[in-house]
Structure 1
Amino acid sequence: MSSFAGRMKEYPTISLDRFDRENLHAQAYFLSHCHKDHMKGLKGPLLKRKLQFSRTVRLYCSFVTKELLLNNPKYAFWEEYTLESPTQISLVDEASGEKQEIVVTLLPAGHCPGSVMFLFEGCHGNVLYTGDFRLAVGDASRMEQLHSGSRVKDIQSVYLDSTFYDPRFYQIPSREVCLRGIAELIGNWISQSRYHVVWLNCKAAYGYEYLFTNLGEEFSTQVHVNSLNMFKKMPEILSYVTTDRRCQIHACRHPKDEEFLQGNRLPCGSTAADGTPLRIISIKPSTMWFGERTKKTNVVIKTGASSYRACFSFHSSYSEVRFFWFFPCGVLLNKLAYCDKVHYCL
């Protein structure tokens, strides 16, 4: 859950991932991704009213985030304000007309579809805001946008996702390792008969598309979901999901008012089209649960007669976070870079 208040010391007229209270007075808004804890106030009436009377205020995000945002009718009013790939932008004080120019670069965050980090370059120095991110050791060093020629750019401050900046999460298995464990379990189960099915009990409405696409490719199938609306302009995902429940891998979800009552029951029903009872196992992707184990475990653990937990993280581990923020500072790569501050954003 994000506790970031939305403002950076260096560029206080910008608001990031927070759109209420003092953030209502911002001259530009930035949304790193479409998870609710980063969208507080985004559909609020006060913000909507401000936009109606402003000629300069915009919301900046990635193309995929824009598509996910506008898929929800509650955010449809943002369509004419949203820009996708900013470079140089003007921060305008509408009372005085004064302008401040900054350059903004979007960097892949690896958290979920559309998630980005923002690099701000302007008269108050270079500042990197990560939002939520999952980058393996070495990923940042390959980002050309963080370099200027042969050297790493000077970074004055880093506003850093510290969700798992805790020694309990020192090492989180990579998504590739977790995928192999999940795929092995699923393969062994669904190969027994067409009535053996798997329910991926995913907590968030989206973010697990890495699993859907890779499992779909691995087993030459599609994954059943409730709706395809959010994926209409994402063909790389759309081809791996379906609303046809006649498949063996499901990621459909219970209605909110039923999700705590249904246990492991498949949300779309427990019988096949011909009336045959389905044999169902559930797999719940988790991170906190694995981090709280006192002993090292496999990436997939059986927790009940037909239920499993699978390690899967949207956020970088303790060691990945340490390496990442050392990279902009130039410490680990022996570059002539400089970082004055690291701000931890839960």
Structure 2
Amino acid sequence: MSFSGFIEEIPGLSVDSFREENFEKSSTFFLTHCHTDHTTGLINGFLNHIYANSNLILYCSSESATILKNMNPEHTNLLDNIIWTLPFNQNCFIPINGMSVGVTAIRANHCVGSCMFLFRTNESTVLYTGDFRFHWFELMDIKALHNNGWPIQLDNVYLDTTYLKQITYNFPTRKKAIHLLLNAIDDFLEFTAGQRIVHISRPANIGSEIIIQSLARKFNCQIHVDDECYNFYRGVEPVFSCMTNNPNNTFIHMCKPGKPGTNHFCNSPAALKIRLSAQWYAIQENTNWVQWEGARAVNIAHSMHSSRKELKAFLRYFKPGCAVALVIPDGYYQDEIQVELDYIACKAYNN
């Protein structure tokens, strides 16, 4: 995250940022999802300020609330006191700095519990996407961003620009990537005799839910993850029932080798090693979405963030008055990413 967390149109509000300056200027906080680059400082920040300002509030989805408590069991009482959960696709009115602000949480297609926030005041309508992933044909299905079937007018969009750069112009849809994954495993099983072992690299503790559920459904088995990941998902159904922390219960592993709850199966030379990655393909500038390295290793393009092509489609569809870059990709400066975003947004608006 590069964004400061402040929504210019609504003073007193911070999103996904828990630095000292945010606690000095804000009393109302929003969390889009539980990846650590969005939660840095959250617990310590609230601990440091809660006694001086008992009115501090954190809004997030119920799934994110559960995961936050699982990640920080020693601070459950604190989180119970500060968290207010928001239902998806329901407009709620929240008092912020003397204003009544309409807030709608919208699923962001990024990880479990992840949401975009639509903020409405008498003066403006603002969308904060957080990390999100939508293909162009999915945009018309976001009901909270439509009125009588037409896109609502957005005055400003705070946009996930993780893959705005040109080398990440396009990725397969998440559905397509999972289809490629399942086919790769089928091919391996068909031509492999003896012990069946599959290990899929998991880039983060949270975010592989759709993959885990698809694997469990296809191969009629639970998916093995390490103890830490397993505990993070307690109470988060239906994904939790698709997981196991016992490596002997299944042939498909998505654990991080070396962590508690893993064993020799996860590092077996007989295993099919699968890497799901967007960044690897961006660095390689490879447009082949499935790339085998011998008979037991395969790379598959998979992104949890919108590609440049999808970002252009999003801006062309909703035509916001302006857009603010949330993320500055490695090797780029904030000014040049914002200039590029301004150019794309202006071009989209005029088309």
Q: What is the distance in 1 between the residues matched to 2:124 and 2:48? A: 32
Q: Which residue of 1 aligns with 2:254?
A: 251
Shift of 1:230: 2.6
Give aligned-pair identity as a percent: 27
Q: Is this contact kept in 2: 1:196–1:278, CA < 8 A?
A: no
Shift of 1:59: 0.3
2:284 to 268, 284, 293: 293
Amino acid at match of 2:322: K
* 1:201-260 alpha-carbon deviations (Å, 9 max, x no partner): 11211201111110111111111112332323222112211122121100111347x9xx
Q: Is this contact kept in 2: 1:30–1:59, CA < 8 A?
A: yes
Q: What is the distance in 2 between the residues matched to 1:295 and 1:278? A: 26
Q: Which residue of 1 aligns with 2:4?
A: 5
Question: Matched residue of 1:107: which SS?
Answer: strand
Q: Which residue of 2 aligns with 1:281?
A: 272
Flag structure 1 segments of 5+ consecutive residues without an equivalent: 93-98, 259-265, 330-338
The reply on whether 1:315 has 2:320 as its aligned counterpart is: no
Amino acid at match of 1:254: P
| Stretch moving more, 10-19 or 188-197 | 188-197
The reply on whether 1:198 has 2:198 as its aligned counterpart is: yes
How many residues are paired up? 316
The reply on whether 1:328 has 2:329 as its aligned counterpart is: no
After superposition, residues 75-90 of structure 1 pair within 5 angstroms as: 75-76=75-76, 77-85=78-86, 87-90=92-95
Q: Is this contact kept in 2: 1:126–1:154, CA < 8 A?
A: yes
Q: What is the distance in 2 between the residues matched to 1:34 and 1:133? A: 13
Q: What is the distance in 1 between the residues matched to 2:79 and 2:59? A: 11
Q: Is this contact kept in 2: 1:189–1:197, CA < 8 A?
A: no
Q: Is this contact kept in 1: 2:247–2:265, CA < 8 A?
A: no
Q: Which residue of 1 aligns with 2:296?
A: 306
Q: Is this contact kept in 2: 1:197–1:278, CA < 8 A?
A: no
Q: Is this contact kept in 2: 1:107–1:119, CA < 8 A?
A: yes
Q: Which residue of 1 aligns with 2:241?
A: 239
Q: Is this contact kept in 1: 2:199–2:253, CA < 8 A?
A: yes
Q: Is this contact kept in 2: 1:33–1:65, CA < 8 A?
A: yes
Q: What is the distance in 2 between the residues matched to 1:230 and 1:319? A: 33
Flag structure 2 segments of 5+ consecutive residues without an equivalent: 328-351
After superposition, residues 27-66 of structure 1 pair within 5 angstroms as: 27-44=27-44, 46-66=45-65
Q: What is the distance in 2 between the residues matched to 1:286 and 1:75? A: 33
* 1:92-119 alpha-carbon deviations (Å, 9 max, x no partner): 4xxxxxx211010001100111110000
Q: What is the distance in 1 between the residues matched to 2:295 and 2:3? A: 40
Q: What is the distance in 1 between the residues matched to 2:235 and 2:194? A: 31
Q: What is the distance in 1 between the residues matched to 2:194 and 2:236? A: 29
* 1:40-86 alpha-carbon deviations (Å, 9 max, x no partner): 21021x43132233343210001111111110225532222111117
Q: Which residue of 2 aligns with 1:344?
A: 325
* 1:284-319 alpha-carbon deviations (Å, 9 max, x no partner): 11111112334531x221236633222111101111
Q: What is the distance in 2 between the residues matched to 1:150 and 1:216? A: 36
Shift of 1:171: 1.5
Q: What is the distance in 1 between the residues matched to 2:212 and 2:265? A: 21
After superposition, residues 35-184 of structure 1 pair within 5 angstroms as: 35-44=35-44, 46-73=45-72, 75-76=75-76, 77-85=78-86, 87-92=92-97, 99-184=98-183
Query: 1 or 2, which has the higher helix percentage?
Result: 2
The reply on whether 1:269 has 2:264 as its aligned counterpart is: yes
- TM-score computed with the length of structure 2 as normaliser: 0.83
Q: Is this contact kept in 2: 1:190–1:248, CA < 8 A?
A: no
Q: Which residue of 2 aligns with 1:225?
A: 225
Question: Matched residue of 2:176: which SS?
Answer: helix
Q: What is the distance in 2 between the residues matched to 1:11 and 1:322? A: 26
Q: Which residue of 2 aligns with 1:333?
A: none
Q: Is this contact kept in 1: 2:164–2:311, CA < 8 A?
A: yes
Question: Matched residue of 1:111: which SS?
Answer: coil
Amino acid at match of 1:88: F
| Stretch moving more, 209-218 or 68-77 | 68-77
| Compared CA separation, residues 75 and 319, structure 1 to 2 (3 A) | farther
Q: What is the distance in 1 between the residues matched to 2:316 and 2:85? A: 29
Q: Which residue of 2 aligns with 1:334?
A: none
- TM-score computed with the length of structure 1 as normaliser: 0.85
Q: What is the distance in 1 between the residues matched to 2:109 and 2:171? A: 15
* 1:148-184 alpha-carbon deviations (Å, 9 max, x no partner): 3344322111000011112212221111221122112
Q: What is the distance in 1 between the residues matched to 2:27 and 2:294? A: 52
Q: Which residue of 2 aligns with 1:210?
A: 210
Shift of 1:144: 1.8
RMSD across aligned C-alpha pairs, in angstroms?
2.3
